[in-house]
Amino acid sequence: MPTDPDIVESRVIDTARLDDLRALLGDALDDILRTWLIDAPAILAGARLARLAGEPDALLKAIHGVKGSAGNVGAIELSDVAYTLEQHLKRADPALDLDAELSRLETCYNRAACHIRTLIRS
């Protein structure tokens, strides 16, 4: 059975949050979303670099940044996955497959970015 695109989108983007932000910010929201589309990959790349450099504090800071910025633009799937990863990192979970989780974050970003690009009006 094919997946309903509206259901998939509702798990990726909180459109109600973005509607509220648009009501508050008007067209300025488009600039915020464009900035997020540029900044979020840089934060994710920073997480990868911190992982490769063996810098757990920098990694945790990057993941926290992903969580917050994603939540700010209604990218709820990405924010939720980053939150869960952040909790595992804080507990130093030995079962954590960090490389797989970082790839998962990147996949979530790509899904969110795809939806967000369609919402930018100007």
Q: Which domains does the chain have, with CATH numbers?
A: 5-119 (1.20.120.160)
- C-alpha 102 chain-centroid distance: 11
Per-residue CA distances from 42 to 46, 48, 110 (Å): 6, 10, 13
Contact assessment for residue 51 and residue 96, using Cβ atoms and an 8 Å cutoff: no
pLDDT digits (tens, 9 = 90+) for 55-108: 999 999 999 999 999 999 999 999 999 999 999 999 998 889 999 999 999 999
Per-residue CA distances from 102 to 24, 52, 120, 121 (Å): 33, 12, 27, 30
DSSP assignment letter at 92: T
pLDDT at 10: 56
pLDDT at 121: 86
> pTM for this structure?
0.88
Q: Binning pLDDT at 50, 70 and 90, where does residue 53 land?
A: very high
